Every structure is written in C-alpha cells, then in structure tokens.
Chains A and B, each alone.
Chain A
Amino acid sequence: MKIKVMAFASFREILGKELNLDIVGEATAAGVLAILASRNKRFKEAAFEESGWLRDYVQIMINRKRIDPRQDLSTKLNDGDELVIFPPVAGG
C-alpha cells in the first residue's frame, strides 16, 4: 500500500517535505517511523532515543488528525493515508 509521509520544520530538513512509501502488507505508524529510521540515520537520531523509544517532542498526524505517539503508534494505516511528522509547534 502507498503511504504519503510529510515532514515539517527540523524533520523536513532531514527527510524532505514529502515522500511516498510503498509498504507490503500491514502498515502502522510505528512501522512507517521504523522504515524512515532504517533509511535515514539523521532521522533515527533526531526521532528516537538510544533505547529505541520515540523522543518526547516528536508529534504525529494521521490524515490531518493528531495522534498521541505514546499510545497510538500501533494505529493501522490504510492505502493512501497521510502521516505527518513534526516537532512542537511555535506559531504566533
């Protein structure tokens, strides 16, 4: 299935603004983050603790809705879903 990944701010600088992943079989938010980490060492270091836990400041939206990365990373993704990765917002 195809998953569109978008990244903003510091994560855009590492991953680029948009990339499309082709995933065979079942996909989850955690699985997408693991694929990105396996392909990109800078992303792995920026997003994950050495212990493998996702860093606290990493924020995720799936289909424009925020999820809680501490609880909802096992959320199943469907073909065509959009996953967005970003650091804490700082507008205003």
Chain B
Amino acid sequence: MITIQITNEDFCLDELVRKAKRNDAGALVTFLGTVRDDGIERMELEAFREAALPELERIRDEAVARFNLLSVEVVHRIGSLAVGESIVAIVCAAAHRDEAFQGCRYIIEELKVRVPIWKKELGKNGERWVGHE
C-alpha cells in the first residue's frame, strides 16, 4: 500500500504502520513531526494541494526507486494545530533497516524544501510565517 494524503483530520500512526506492513519487509521506519513549543500557542498550516500532492508523489517515487522501499505512507495535516499535535507522519517499509531509515530521511528532507506547504506560528507575542524573514 502506498498512499499520500494532505488532510484537515488527525491521523493514527498505528493505522499507517499497519497499512505499510508487508511480509517481505523486515524494517519499518516512522517519522512523526509534531508542533514544538517555541513559546507559541498554535500553528496554522496551509497547502497548495493541487501542486503539493503531485510533488509528494514524485518524492515518494524517487525514494522507492533509490532505496528499494516496499511501501510508503505519508500524511501531512493542514489547518490549525495546537502544541504537541501531529503535523506529518511518514512510514517506510523495506527489506532491511538501512534502506527504510534512508528512505524515510529522504522523504522528510525533500518534503521540507519542495512541497508547497506553509506554516504560521501564533503566540502571545504575535505571529510569523516560518522560513519567511
């Protein structure tokens, strides 16, 4: 199973792991990104969904080809998230752990620089767009 989602809803990591599991995979690596308390109260995320989904699919295809991944699950949330809430989950399954670790790392690093998603931090001292000085 290989699925990519951008959603307003929370997700269940266990469910993603269950979907990614395969009998020929000996390793599953998960990455869970959460809202960190940097003196903020919440974060607002928005996506250019029509461009973000195809870009995520390209990144997934690159990771599958480079690291021999057997399955990949990616969920990225948008909307208003409080401190501690989940932002993104990536689950990669491969025959061996090295490929699963590298594939998962590749997907999150490429996602951060290529996928059109933006975050705004909101706190008592005001608000700011992340990465936008």
Contact = CB atoms under 8 A, between A and B. Distances in A.
Assign chain B's interface to a size class: 20 to 34
Interface in B61-111: 76, 87-88, 108, 111
Contact of B117 (A61, A64, A90): A90
A91 B107 CA distance: 12
B132 A90 contact: yes
Contacts of B48: 6, 8, 84, 86
B38 interface: no
Interface string B30-55: 00010000000000011110111010
Contacts of B19: none
Interface of B: 33, 45-48, 50-52, 54, 76, 87-88, 108, 111-120, 129-133
Interface of A: 6, 8-10, 12, 57, 61, 64, 84, 86-92
